[in-house]
Each structure stands twice: as C-alpha cells, then as structure tokens.
Structure 1
C-alpha cells in the first residue's frame, strides 16, 4: 500500500515503538492519528509529525469510537492500523508467602494487551472494509505488537505471555476472516528493545540484557521496529504471519 496521503492510526503512539512508528509512517506521507492515554505526550508528537493527537483508552469502546470519529473528520477513514498500546508486569503465580497471584493482576494485563487490541481492531476493521478497494484490491493493513514472551515467557510472565500469545494466535484467523475484504493482518514479536521502560533500568542491567542477544549484541532500536512496520504496510504479500524481531534471542527461564 502506498502511504502517501493515506490515513493511519497508531495506538500507544506517544512513546517507544508507537512513537517511532508514527514518525516513520508520517515521513512516508501517511496522515497519522497518534492514539494514547497520555494526551499531552500524544499532542507533542502529533505537532512534530503533522498528525493529530487522540486521547483514547483501547479498553473502552466509547473512547475508541470518539477517537476514530475525530481522526475520520481530519484525515478520512484509516486504511492503516498499528497496535502498539500495551502494558507489562511480572508476578509469580505463588508468592514467597504462599499466596496466589491476585486474579486482578492477570485480568489487567490481558484486558489491555489482548482484549484492548482486539477491541481496537474490530472497530477499525469495520471502517476499512467499507472503503473502496485500491487498484490491487487492498482496503487496509492491520499490525499487532506481540513479544518473544509469547513463545518463551519467563518466570512471572504468565499474564504478559498469555496476552501476547493471544495476539500471535489471533493473527492467522483475523487475516483469513478479513481476506475477503482485502485487509491484511500481521504481527511483530519484538525481543529486547530500547523503550522508555528499558531506559529506567540501570546501565549495567541494560548491558547484561544486551549481552544475551546473539546478534546484534545490543538492544533493539525503536526505529527498527518502525521500519519493519512500514515494510509490512508496503508489501502486499505479507499477510497472516508473525515476525520475530529479536536478533535470534531466546529468553531464559529468568
């Protein structure tokens, strides 16, 4: 898909992988809606790239519909959706004191990462399928952000791994479901990336994590994720697949 003049939505777009993706798409001519719960940060980025800031909680249907309405008024219906919104968290199933992990901790992560992403997709897809097909029959592209934890989740990552594993499992059925409309669905599973969460860790911890990556022996750059997202948008044959972007990393149990 040619991004020039095409409307795009990026969730979690105010920071990290989402911000890099918003910048990349805008640099290639897309009209980007920066979706985030942090409206102030989204506004700053939108001003930088000539996009629109959209305050939105992806777990709230009304919030999504309001954001999509504003984006549609400014940019027209979106043909590109990149889902980067998500949260982390780790807790052992049974704590040192013998108490079980609170069910709310599991529900909170799954609700944002899996259910929230699906909520965003179902509403955006309805807009995409209603549009006229492009010359190649395509109507839209949807990208989800999983994690290598979906495959080799570590101790304490039950909730996070389950939420990201759900996204990997959603990829093919969503692609098959939307194929009749010319809407593609892809997922990227990043490894260890230099995101705001990683920046908060001590330098020695960052170096230790980087050393665990076979090659390149450094943390991933958000721009590398963004470049892959842009390539997926432009490559019509990429559909129904999950791409690990991890430098051959396989997570150890802890």
Structure 2
C-alpha cells in the first residue's frame, strides 16, 4: 500500500517508537496524526506532515473524537500504528510478602492492551468506509507487543500480560477485519533506546546490549519505524507477529 496522499494515526507519537514512526510515515507522503498525552505533546519536536492530537487512549470518547479529527482532514485514513504504552515493574509479592497493588496491573493492561484495542476498533470503523484499493485493500493496523510477551521476566507480570494480550489479539483481529480489506500485524521489539530507558544508567544499558546476540547493541526507534513502513507497503503480510530483537531471548531476571 502506498502511503502517499493518505492519512495515518500513530499513538504514542510524541516520543520514542511513535515519534520515529510518525516521522517516517510523513516522509513517505502521509498526513500523520500523532496521538499522545498533553504533557508529551508539550515536549514533542515539531515534524512537517505531523499533526499532534492530545488524547488518552483509554478514553473511548476521546479516541473517537481524535480519530474523527484525522478523518476530517480530508485524506483517506489507511494506516494505524499503535505505539502508546507504559513499562511497569512489580512482583506479585514484595520482599516483605505483601502483594503489589493490583491497580498497577489494571492500569498497565488498560493502557497497553485496552488502549490499543480502542484505537484499533474505532479507527478500523473509519478505514472500512474508505474506497478499496487493489485486491480490495483498505488499510492496515500495526500493534506493538514486546519480547516480554514471550519471555516475561521476574517482576514483569503486568507488562508481559499486557503485551501477551496484544499477541493474542493479532490473529483474530486480522481474521475479523479481513472482510473489510484491513490487515493487522504486530511488531514485538526487544530492548530499544526509548524514553522508557531514560532512568537507566549508561553502564546498565551496556549490560543489556551485551545480552543481544547480534547486532550486540540496543535497537533504535528508527529501525522499528522502517519495519512498520515495510509492513504497510507489503500487502501480503497479514496476521503476523514479527520479533525485532537481534535474536534476544530474555532470561528470568
């Protein structure tokens, strides 16, 4: 699918994976609508072809209005890339034997999984109304999982469960939306240089990179963006979860 003269939505589009993807899609000729929280918007670097829309992906009505903003701009909405998410850590039981607040688990799943579904569903509703392209194609949704969906580490119960849900959502959503010509794929990154690592020391980042078989470094947001563009352009890849991890397999801790 050609991105030229189409509209695209990128959630989490003000930083990290989302910002790199928004820039890449705009570079391919799409009018990009970057959804993110207001505080993130205030720090975002302006990019030509990218319109920043303040929205909380867990707010269904807010998402509906934000999608309507993208549609009202006039270009057919063809692409959604869900990058919005949070990384959380908390063992089931703390060292003192007390349970970690279940609200942490609920919040993580709400943002990472339910938020992605909200955007997928409400954007697909609008993509389905566009005119068909070759083979009846209308558009694509790309969700973001993580290698934690497969090898969640100790203390990653909430995060791994939320990303495992994204993986579980992928194939049935692709099958469900096939009748409308909408493909669904998922990228599962390994350890990427994003703001989620902002609080991690450089020394520890080198330790993380040393665990990657090859290339022995952390992934870059731009590499995620390139993979997203490839999936958009390759019309026969559908229902797939693609790991982008340098052959990394996470240890228990």
TM-score computed with the length of structure 2 as normaliser: 0.97
Q: Is the 8 A contact 1:10 1:18 kept in 2?
A: yes
Moved more, 87-96 or 226-235: 87-96
Q: How does 1:88-103 map to 2 (within 5 A)?
A: 88-103=87-102
Q: How many residues align?
A: 253
Q: Is the 8 A contact 2:34 2:50 kept in 1?
A: yes
Match of 1:37 in 2: 37
1:101 Cα deviation from its structure 2 partner: 1.6
Match of 1:139 in 2: 138
Dislocated runs of 4+, deviation >3 Å: 42-45
1:199 Cα deviation from its structure 2 partner: 3.3
CA distance in 1 between counterparts of 2:90 and 2:141 reads 31
CA distance in 2 between counterparts of 1:205 and 1:239 reads 36
SS at match of 1:48: coil
Q: Is the 8 A contact 1:42 1:53 kept in 2?
A: no
Match of 1:127 in 2: 126
Q: Deviations over 1:169-199 (max 9, x none)?
A: 1100000001111100000000000001223
CA distance in 2 between counterparts of 1:238 and 1:38 reads 34
Match of 1:118 in 2: 117
Match of 1:152 in 2: 151
Match of 1:239 in 2: 238
1:76 Cα deviation from its structure 2 partner: 3.4
Q: How does 1:199-238 map to 2 (within 5 A)?
A: 199-238=198-237
Q: Is the 8 A contact 2:5 2:75 kept in 1?
A: no
Q: Deviations over 1:201-226 (max 9, x none)?
A: 11100100000000000000100000
CA distance in 2 between counterparts of 1:240 and 1:117 reads 16
Q: Deviations over 1:147-176 (max 9, x none)?
A: 000000000101100000000011000000
Gaps of 5+ in 2: none
Match of 1:19 in 2: 19
Q: Is the 8 A contact 1:35 1:42 kept in 2?
A: no
Q: Is the 8 A contact 1:43 1:52 kept in 2?
A: no
CA distance in 1 between counterparts of 2:242 and 2:38 reads 28
Match of 2:189 in 1: 190
Asked if 1:76 is matched to 2:42, the reply is no
CA distance in 2 between counterparts of 1:212 and 1:44 reads 31
1:103 Cα deviation from its structure 2 partner: 1.1
CA distance in 1 between counterparts of 2:194 and 2:67 reads 26
CA distance in 2 between counterparts of 1:37 and 1:48 reads 17
1:75 Cα deviation from its structure 2 partner: 4.2
CA distance in 1 between counterparts of 2:9 and 2:180 reads 19
1:49 Cα deviation from its structure 2 partner: 2.3
TM-score computed with the length of structure 1 as normaliser: 0.96
RMSD after superposition = 1.3
